[in-house]
Amino acid sequence: MVSRILLQTCTLTAAALLLLPAALFGQGELEDYQRADELRDRFDGTVTDRILGQPTWLEDSPEFWYRKSVTGGYEFVHVNAEEQSREAPFDHDRLARTLSEAAGDEYHGLELPFNSFEYVNNRSSIEVSIDGTIYTCSLSSYHCDTRPDENSGSGWSSWGVWDHDLEPVNLARSEEERESPDGKWKAFVKNYNVALRNVETDEVTMLSTDGSEQNYYNYNSFRWSPDSEKLAAYRKIPGYDRKIHYVESSPQDQLQPRHLSRTYIKPGDVLDIDQPVLFHVEDGNQINVDNDLFPNAYSNSNMNWWSDSRGFYFEYNQRGHEAYRIIEVDGETGEARALVNDEPDTFFSYATSLYRHYTENGEEIIWMSERDGWRHLYLYDGKEGELKNQITQGDWVVRDVDYVDEENRQIWFRASGLDDDQDPYYIHYLRINFDGSGLTRFTEADGNHSVQFSSDREFYVSTWSQVDQAPVSELRRTSDQSLVMELEESDISALEEAGWQAPEQFSAKGRDGETDIYGIIIRPTNFDPNQSYPVIEYIYAGPHSNFVPKSFMNYSNMMSLAELGFIVVQIDGMGTANRSKEFHDVAWQNLGDAGFPDRILWHEAVAEQYSWYNNERVGIYGRSAGGQSSTGALLFHPEHYHVAVSSVGCHDNRMDKIWWNEQWMGWPIGQQYDDASNIVHADKLEGNLLLFVGELDTNVDPASTYQLADALIKANKDFDFLSIPGAGHGSIGDYEERKRRDFFVEHLLGKRAPNWNQLSTQ
């Protein structure tokens, strides 16, 4: 750890200091590094009376519990909403002593070794999980019984993604059988075809004969009609089985390198074709469903039958994502029709806007769409396939649906952008009737909200905050949104005493001169307004969401980076989600844009307001899609960005996974992919660039970064490159963080970073 290295610097002898490069850094710079490395611990535990995690409501009860921060640790609180009472659910100190004895460890009342618990035995006991063991502790005697936690273990293994670890699939037949609802038939695959077994006689009948090795029936797609008279199945023509290959240079369990591969479909690849087929069991009639309504699928969803067996339906996501349909197939004729059809001029954002709810037997369908320029809900007649009414409307967006109450015909949902005087990204909670009437707000405060309703939805806990304003938690009554109890108001006085600089919210007009662009500004704890600070921007511009923090933030890695003498910022430019469709559409076939025209104007606005904001020395960093964007900043906007650190980036969208890149860049592959490619434009590099790549990145093909390096070398460009053995797509750890810091110190501050090799041996 850097901190352990830095703590030794005060004992360096004069002779040892002579070994270091002269006049390149001093004790002040070392103190900056130490302060940066220790900032998280410095701020940890300084915010009290803050609800940690989410309150947990008891089933069919007006009671709930939550965990809150207190000086020295945390404690649990139990609340009865009807009685407006609050108490500790158990004796923290006594439970700590009992658990210490049972586990053979030492626990304390304000530092119990669990974050959640469950009432059991009519609430006479609680159950907690600690290190793979379940403890059931009586709340009267505090005696604890133990048993193994069957849900614990080593967790997910990354090796599961590698082809060498997967069992081959026999497509010619399946050992599994799909039984009909009436129990008379079992459907299975035999010689790539659909076969039926009569349960009573064991006689086998072939329903199909047109299956083959390259055009086979998929057992997992089999769906019986509820009346057991019909069976739907997909016949699949497999697409291109692309593999990407890895060499694990430094395995932990052997000396020699290991070769690995995995299936990884990329933009432009030939995809599987799923042909829906309908079978009538009694007469063996086979109907190949006409594909005029789904001619070029990126994907077809699983088929599902209506409960009256009148037909089945599936969802069609068109290749290129310019159309999305719910398609119904008549159970008798096999005729297909579109119940819902969404065909925007650009993309249907299934990554952000796909929500549908089928009421009982498909009588109605609740559908989400951006067709009027904003993301809203619509009600369709599920039998006629006609729009009944738009449910929500206005210049704001539905963020998600939490609950559909079919009996009362109400939708409980989240939305943002409702208030002209609030940040348009703040989430609020609402309810509305199916017909669009009765819009009810459960949150009004100026902040980002999180709400948990009781199981009967009679009460709710609302917690809200801003990035620079501490959380407030309240218990309210659903019927009139009245305040029942003030639960917690976080105390940040100790955090402020520790030197915390509140992130500043800042907005400026974007490229159109009208739209507000939002970001935050982070200062170091020793901020001096009379100094001039180089600027570092953290970027992630993926069109699937927005990314600037909106809830209270007592610590971020951006804060540690600022400690080295920088101003660090984060911005949501055009092309990101959760604003208008027009705002979002900037990303369409245009990922190289990354909102930079808006970002640069935002930087200029900050510099105009603050003299300490040095907009002449700007760096940028990001990972994954942010790795692509940060490198793109130097290639496409060298007049503004001068230094970039790019981690595990997708530097050409044709090299990355298909689902993310075709969603925004479109299909077929065209000039737009060249236009956005860092590799194609590598010869434009002017600034200082550091590239990171993990040799075992299973998210973004590592070859993307290597090909960028190759293009830079061929263009005779200077850059820095670091491949990390054994690393994947996530953070590479302390070493990556240190190299990033050092790179910005050298190229933005103009100082040589400390010689860590020499320091660590003193």
pLDDT at position 762: 57
For residues 581 and 616, what is the distance between their CA atoms, to the nearest angstrom? Answer: 33
pLDDT digits (tens, 9 = 90+) for 426-455: 999 999 999 999 999 999 999 999 999 999
Sign of CA dihedral 735, 559, 511, 351: positive
pLDDT at position 269: 98
pLDDT digits (tens, 9 = 90+) for 318-354: 999 999 999 999 999 999 999 999 999 999 999 889 9
Residue 657, C-beta contacts closer than 8 angstroms, at least 6 positions apart: 264, 265, 266, 699, 700
pLDDT at position 11: 34
* Strand 688-694 versus strand 285-288 pairing type: unpaired
In the structure, what pLDDT confidence band is assigned to residue 732 with cuts at 50, 70 and 90?
Answer: confident
Contact status, residue 538 vs residue 621, Cβ threshold 8 Å: yes
Residues 736-741 have a mean pLDDT of 96
Q: Where do the DSSP E strands lie in 281-310?
A: 285-288, 297-300, 304-305
How many other CB atoms are found less than 10 A from the CB of residue 437? 10
In the structure, what pLDDT confidence band is assigned to residue 29 with cuts at 50, 70 and 90?
Answer: confident
What's the CATH code, domain 159-343?
2.140.10.30
In the structure, what pLDDT confidence band is assigned to residue 721 with cuts at 50, 70 and 90?
Answer: very high
pLDDT at position 759: 79
Residue 637, C-beta contacts closer than 8 angstroms, at least 6 positions apart: 596, 600
Residues 44-50 have a mean pLDDT of 98
pLDDT at residue 648 greater than cutoff 70: yes
Residue of 494, 385, 499, 446 whose CA lies nearest to 35: 499
pLDDT at position 169: 55
pLDDT digits (tens, 9 = 90+) for 575-631: 999 999 999 999 999 999 999 999 999 999 999 999 999 999 999 999 999 999 999
What's the CATH code, domain 503-760?
3.40.50.1820
Between the alpha carbon of residue 138 and those of residues 130, 146, 279, the distances in Å are: 16, 12, 58
Residue 170, C-beta contacts closer than 8 angstroms, at least 6 positions apart: none
Residue of 200, 270, 281, 202 whose CA lies nearest to 236: 270
Give the rounded percent of residues in the chain with a pLDDT score beyond 70: 93
Here the tokens at position 283 are: 């007469």
**Model-level pTM?**
0.93
For residues 187 and 223, what is the distance between their CA atoms, to the nearest angstrom? Answer: 9
In the structure, what pLDDT confidence band is assigned to residue 171 with cuts at 50, 70 and 90?
Answer: confident
Here the tokens at position 320 are: 């290129």
The mean predicted confidence, pLDDT, of the chain is: 93
pLDDT digits (tens, 9 = 90+) for 448-496: 999 999 999 999 999 999 999 999 999 999 999 999 999 999 999 999 9
DSSP labels for 661-696?
A: HHHHH-SS--HHHHHH-TTTTGGG--SEEEEEEETT
Residues 164-188 have a mean pLDDT of 79
Q: Where along the chain do its domains lie? A: 159-343, 503-760
pLDDT at position 174: 67
pLDDT at position 164: 47
pLDDT at position 623: 97
pLDDT at residue 10 greater than cutoff 60: no
Top-confidence residue, 10 or 301: 301
Residues 376-391 have a mean pLDDT of 98
pLDDT at residue 26 greater than cutoff 90: no
Contact status, residue 487 vs residue 475, Cβ threshold 8 Å: yes
Give the rounded percent of residues in the chain with a pLDDT score beyond 90: 90
Residues 54-78 have a mean pLDDT of 98
In the structure, what pLDDT confidence band is assigned to residue 151 with cuts at 50, 70 and 90?
Answer: confident
Give the burial class of 116: count Cβ atoms within 10 A of its Cβ; 0-12 exposed, 13-18 middle, 19 or more buried.
middle
Residues 77-96 have a mean pLDDT of 98
pLDDT at position 21: 40
Exposure of 627 in the CB half-sphere (CA atoms within 13 A): 28
Here the tokens at position 199 are: 């349960």
Between the alpha carbon of residue 27 and those of residues 23, 33, 60, 91, 492, the distances in Å are: 11, 10, 61, 49, 31
**Same fold yes or no, 159-343 and 503-760:** no
pLDDT at position 27: 56
